[in-house]
């Protein structure tokens, strides 16, 4: 099999990887040992399947690798998919992992008197500037976004802006920074994504992997 024939699966490093690897293994893909070696600097890994390699990239970059066809399949949070909104990506399967929600939040004391229905302009710190602008524009509010890559909950406390759009799971990061949720934007989970062109040109292989992952999400996990 030539290198060009190998399908590439893009996985997000970080928190999702821990949840997704048991699913990848149950779908029948076992990466080479270097994948689990924290000192190994390799980013592309062979697997027990000669026809599939794994690449490990930033969670925000999985969509770009799949959209531009460098990877054929991938796993991405629906937050990332909403932010970039790549038409070349098809997301056929909810993997039911990485559950959280995307919220607008502000300092507790501001929320006591604030009335979001009266906003015409908001300044918001967020990792999701495009999604945030779209969300507010849909109800006629102009959002000025300050793009951050992390520690978003710090922004109101330190005077960068009063409001944020960020992910919330347990709510402990909001609470620790004196913030409260004031608007729900979306429920988030991770999806199996495929490049639309790859699905057209190699339908049996790509659909075969979608079906195997679907079977994993539908079967109860076995305990060892
Ligand atoms: N608190 C959370 N609970 C559940 N899922 C989350 C949470 N935070 C983020 N996620 C999901 O995990 C994905 C990756 O999270 P995040 O952007 O924080 O990256 P990370 O795991 O820190 O790794 P990296 O920054 O290296 O990409 C997000 O796109 C989202 O779908
Ligand atoms: O509601 P909680 O359970 O507290 O989780 C929410 C936090 O988790 C994520 O941050 P992450 O830990 O990835 O750090 P980050 O600031 O680098 O995004 C997210 O951006 C929130 O900050």
Q: ipTM of this model?
A: 0.95
Is residue 9 within 8 A of residue 71, CB to CB? The reply is yes
76-120 pLDDT per residue, tens: 999 999 999 999 999 999 999 999 999 999 999 999 999 999 999
Verify whether ligand 1 is closer than 6 Å to residue 167 (CB atom). yes
Residue 97 Cβ < 6 Å to ligand 1: no
pLDDT value, residue 199: 98
Residue 98 alpha carbon, nearest atom of ligand 1: 5
Q: How confident is the model at residue 223 (pLDDT cuts 50, 70, 90)?
A: low
Q: Ligand 2 within 6 A of 168 CB?
A: yes
Ligand 2: residue whose CA is nearest its atom 6: 168
Instruction: Say what the pLDDT of residue 4 is.
Output: 76
Place of tokens 């099999």: 1
24-72 tens-digit pLDDT: 999 999 999 999 999 999 999 999 999 999 999 999 999 999 999 999 9
152 CA → ligand 2 middle, Å: 9
Beta-ladder partners of 123: 144
Looking at the predicted structure, is the pLDDT value of residue 224 above 90?
A: no
For residues 5 and 81, the model is more confident at: 81
Residue of 75, 99, 103, 100 lying closest to 89 (CA atoms): 75
Q: State the pLDDT at residue 147.
A: 98
**Pocket of ligand 1 contains residue 126 by CB under 6 Å:** no
Distances in whole angstroms, Cα of residue 165 to Cα of each of 87, 113, 201, 224: 24, 19, 38, 40
- Ligand 2 centroid – CA 169 distance (Å): 8
Query: Which residue segments constitute the domains of the chain, with CATH numbers given?
Result: 3-98+189-218 (3.40.190.10), 100-186 (3.40.190.10)
pTM to 2 decimals? 0.95
Q: How far is the CA of 81 from the centre of ligand 1 (A)?
A: 13
Give the ligand at the shortest distance from the Cα of 60: 1
């Amino acid at each position: 099999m030539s290198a060009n024939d190998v399908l590439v699966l893009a996985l997000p490093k970080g928190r999702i990887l821990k949840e997704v690897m048991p699913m990848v293994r149950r779908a029948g893909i076992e990466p080479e040992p270097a994948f689990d070696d924290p000192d190994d600097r390799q980013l592309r890994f062979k697997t027990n399947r000669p026809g599939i390699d794994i690449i490990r990239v930033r969670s925000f970059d999985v969509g770009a690798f799949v959209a531009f066809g460098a990877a054929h399949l991938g796993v991405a949070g629906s937050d990332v998919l909403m932010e970039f909104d790549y038409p070349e990506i098809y997301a056929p399967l909810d993997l039911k992992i990485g559950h959280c929600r995307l919220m607008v939040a502000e300092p507790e004391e501001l929320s006591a008197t604030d009335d979001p229905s009266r906003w015409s302009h908001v300044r918001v710190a967020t990792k999701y500037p495009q999604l945030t602008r779209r969300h507010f524009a849909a109800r006629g509010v102009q959002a000025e976004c300050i793009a951050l890559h992390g520690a978003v909950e710090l922004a109101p406390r330190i005077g960068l802006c009063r409001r944020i759009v960020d992910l919330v799971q347990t709510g402990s990061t909001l609470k620790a920074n004196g913030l409260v949720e004031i608007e729900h934007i979306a429920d988030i989970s991770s999806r199996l994504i495929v490049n639309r062109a790859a699905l057209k040109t190699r339908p049996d292989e790509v659909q075969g992997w979608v079906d195997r992952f679907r079977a994993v999400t539908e079967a109860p996990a076995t305990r060892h």
